[in-house]
């Protein structure tokens, strides 16, 4: 069983809370381009919002207000420590200039792959769970629901004594089979999966896309869906069991200038039409934070006790905990 890190100050006294705050001070020097990056992305997201259906805009705005009102004071902005990309100027940029990566060839054609150590853009680097080299923590981004294309799969895994972020991108719809081939090779090497609601959504979506292209669905050993544990432990304790809510309260982080999930399909359409990599880089940041959250949250969600006030009705955690 993974050990539990004390990242949330719930249930501790004033003196300990003061010490917690001192110990979690970020010793990081912001880039001179950090503010510009945030401002440009915020503007691009606002422009994107005006081109989305009214109902979706309303739902996103409701989630935004809820997230801001329930965000704990100790949560820090992601860009204070998570320097995923920077915009050196306010003008369209190729994705290759913003996020390190390269075109790779597969038996199904080319796709684009970004592979880099987490320590190359995350500082200070937090304590991580015990590494298990046959596991991947993964999340996907798609053009919509079932029947639509997928275009980005992100995963974190441990290899050669360090943690890696792996992101495969279909730069257009023709590259989706190659993306799926890359995912197949990744799962064959690391067949133990960890996701957040991925057993009900992400993996069935991928399976449908493999079948769409008459590709075999790769076998996997097991699939730990952290949403089930989160619902058992934190429903009725936290404002919601959305991943970003757990990120705020347990990972002590919030996403500055985030691109809401509902806008991601539209952002990809913008990329296909204009090839401006700035919003696509923000999609990749969103995806990276999603998979990193899984890695950070797993110790909390597989612990035999809860770091927040317990539910009124006890839960049998043997059904959700994984050693």
Domain layout of the chain by residue ranges: 30-319
Please state the φ and ψ torsions of residue 185, each to the nearest 5 degrees: -65, -35
313 confidence band (pLDDT: 50, 70, 90): very low
Of 28-42, 118-132, 240-254, which has the strongest mean pLDDT? 240-254
Contact 317, 232 (CB under 8 A): yes
Q: Tokens for 197?
A: 């609601």
Question: How many other CB atoms sit within 10 Å of the CB of residue 213?
Answer: 11
Bridge partner residues of 156 (DSSP): 137, 165
| 190 secondary structure, DSSP code | S
Task: Tell me: pLDDT of 310 over 50.
Answer: no
32 confidence band (pLDDT: 50, 70, 90): low
Decide which of 168 and 19 is more confident: 168
- Model pLDDT, residue 188: 97
Angle at 140 between CA 134 and CA 143, to 5 degrees: 160
- Model pLDDT, residue 34: 75
129 confidence band (pLDDT: 50, 70, 90): confident
Task: Tell me: pLDDT of 86 over 50.
Answer: yes
- Model pLDDT, residue 145: 80
Task: Tell me: pLDDT of 20 over 90.
Answer: no
Instruction: State whether residue 167 is helix, strand or coil.
Output: strand
Class of domain 30-319: alpha beta
Instruction: State whether residue 233 is helix, strand or coil.
Output: helix
With a pLDDT cut of 90, the percent of the chain lying above it is 69
- Model pLDDT, residue 301: 87
Closest CA to 127 of 137, 118, 139: 118
Mean pLDDT is lowest, of 16-20, 33-37, 77-81, 143-147, for 16-20
Q: What is the mean pLDDT of the chain?
A: 85
Give the pLDDT mean for 115-143. Answer: 92
pTM assigned to the model = 0.85
Task: Tell me: pLDDT of 90 over 80.
Answer: yes
Give the pLDDT mean for 47-72. Answer: 90
> Helix H segments across the chain?
14-23, 34-49, 54-70, 95-98, 176-189, 202-212, 226-234, 243-250, 264-274, 277-301
Task: Tell me: pLDDT of 99 over 80.
Answer: yes
Contact 291, 282 (CB under 8 A): no
| 235 secondary structure, DSSP code | B
Task: Tell me: pLDDT of 316 over 80.
Answer: no
Task: Tell me: pLDDT of 251 over 50.
Answer: yes
């Amino acid at each position: 069983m993974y050990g539990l890190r004390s990242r949330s100050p719930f249930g501790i006294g004033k003196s300990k809370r003061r010490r917690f705050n001192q110990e979690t001070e970020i010793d990081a020097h912001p880039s001179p381009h950090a503010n510009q990056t945030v401002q440009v992305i915020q503007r691009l997201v606002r422009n994107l919002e005006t081109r989305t259906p009214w109902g979706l805009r309303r739902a996103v705005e409701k989630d935004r207000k809820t997230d801001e009102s329930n965000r704990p004071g100790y949560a820090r902005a992601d860009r204070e420590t998570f320097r995923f990309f920077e915009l050196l100027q306010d003008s369209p940029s190729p994705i290759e200039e913003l996020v390190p990566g390269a075109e790779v060839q597969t038996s199904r054609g080319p796709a684009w792959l970004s592979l880099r150590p987490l320590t190359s853009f995350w500082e200070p680097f937090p304590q991580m769970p015990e590494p298990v080299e046959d596991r991947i923590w993964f999340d996907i981004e798609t053009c919509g629901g079932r029947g639509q294309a997928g275009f980005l799969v992100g995963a974190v895994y441990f290899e050669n004594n360090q943690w890696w972020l792996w992101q495969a991108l279909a730069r257009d719809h023709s590259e989706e089979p190659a993306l799926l081939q890359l995912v197949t090779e990744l799962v064959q090497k690391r067949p133990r999966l960890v996701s957040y609601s991925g057993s009900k959504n992400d993996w069935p979506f991928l399976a449908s896309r493999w079948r769409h292209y008459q590709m075999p669905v790769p076998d996997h050993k097991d699939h730990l869906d952290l949403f089930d544990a989160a619902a058992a432990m934190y429903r009725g304790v936290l404002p919601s069991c959305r991943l970003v809510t757990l990120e705020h309260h347990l990972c002590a982080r919030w996403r500055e200038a985030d691109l809401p999930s509902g806008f991601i399909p539209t952002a990809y359409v913008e990329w296909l039409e204009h090839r401006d990599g700035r919003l696509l880089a923000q999609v990749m940041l969103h995806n990276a934070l999603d998979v990193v959250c899984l890695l950070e949250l797993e110790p909390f969600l597989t612990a035999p006790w809860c770091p927040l006030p317990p539910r009124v009705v006890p839960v049998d955690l043997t059904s959700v905990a994984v050693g």
